[in-house]
Chains A and B, each alone.
Chain A
């Protein structure tokens, strides 16, 4: 379980996170929802130990961030961190060298699934293909948690569907998934939980099926309530 407790973060005078607490469970897909600038990416980076919090704590399976975290949690940023001159196969080799948890067979499977060409250069990928390559890099490792920052943003519908397909497949298996998004679109029925951020706080933290069951509302309905007031 990823446990974020009372997270505070300031950029100069602006309070981005003002006491955010939530959990992301293994075997579930949790979605952090918020408008642009709501601190979603900051939270993912904070979980990975890439940015310090002003206050608060983050624990992954009870442990505060450590080096072992990188073998346990993979992070797919919203833009690839690979040098543009790399061929995709070089990118894969780079990952294999750095991560013990790298699973070569799964990487190959993902490359085929997304129809990516190993000889292409990272810098020449379209936005949709770059997003897919990001998913290959993030999902190929045998990690217990996967964090994805805006995996659907700016890519075409067909790629979205393909990426949605990954969420329901055994490529995710029993891992815990935490994704961020500012639009819910066609992924809403894939989510277990949604955490809605507003003004640096958690405005609502919902079990998606429960909200449909008890309130007859979609996640989008709940978003309207939160963000239109």
Chain B
């Protein structure tokens, strides 16, 4: 177990609703494999303390995640990440699409031919893959 699951290092920005930032945080963790299908997540109270945020906001974030089908809560047992493959795939394509759109937005004004961009992406991607440790589940 790493130190509090790395939740403590989270910083919020002040202009986006905090509850949506929390939802986003969970999505990122799911996509990167730090949270896996069916895994139990901290209670609302625990997450509020870990992220040092208002418990009402934690409550709202969990409600939003339930509505989006991201987490499932049954009776009194802890909430869990969904096992629904469709939902999990959807989150992955949502985050990936968003990142690619941001990237395109930032280079659009440079008028670069697509092929050049693709070549560059490929090159950087391979360099990055060599430098980084092999991908795996948990943290340090």
Chain B interface extent, by class: 10 to 19
Is chain A's binding surface mostly helix, strand, loop or mixed? helix
**Is B52 within 8 A of A165, CB to CB?**
yes
Q: A189-B14, A219-B14 are in contact. Are A209 and B19 (CB under 8 A)?
A: yes
A93 within 8 A of B: no
Contacts of A27-42 to chain B: CB distance below 8 A? 27-29
Asked if B15 contacts A216 (CB within 8 A), the reply is: yes
B48: A residues at CB distance < 8 A: 168
Which of B16, B54, B60 is the one whose CB lies under 8 Å from A167? B54
Assess the A191–B54 pair: CB atoms within 8 A.
yes
Tell me whether B15 and A189 are in contact (CB under 8 A). Answer: no
Q: A168-B54, A191-B54 are in contact. Are A212 and B17 (CB under 8 A)?
A: yes
Bound: A217/B57 CA distance, A: 17
Known: A213-B17, A216-B15, A221-B15. A192 touches B52 (CB 8 A): no
Chain B 52-84, CB within 8 Å of chain A: the 1/0 string? 111111001000000000000000000000000
Which residue of B is nearest A177, CB measured? B54
A219 to B49, CA, bound (A): 22
Q: Find the A residue at minimum CB distance from B18.
A: A189
- Give the CA-CA distance A127 to B16 in the complex, in Å: 33
A209 touches B14 (CB 8 A): no
Q: Is B16 a contact of A212 with CB atoms below 8 Å?
A: yes
A residues neighboring B (CB under 8 Å) = 27-29, 161, 164-165, 167-170, 188-192, 209, 212-213, 216-221
16 contacts between A and B (CB under 8 A): A164-B52, A165-B49, A165-B52, A168-B51, A168-B54, A189-B18, A189-B54, A190-B52, A190-B54, A209-B19, A209-B57, A212-B16, A213-B17, A213-B20, A216-B15, A216-B16
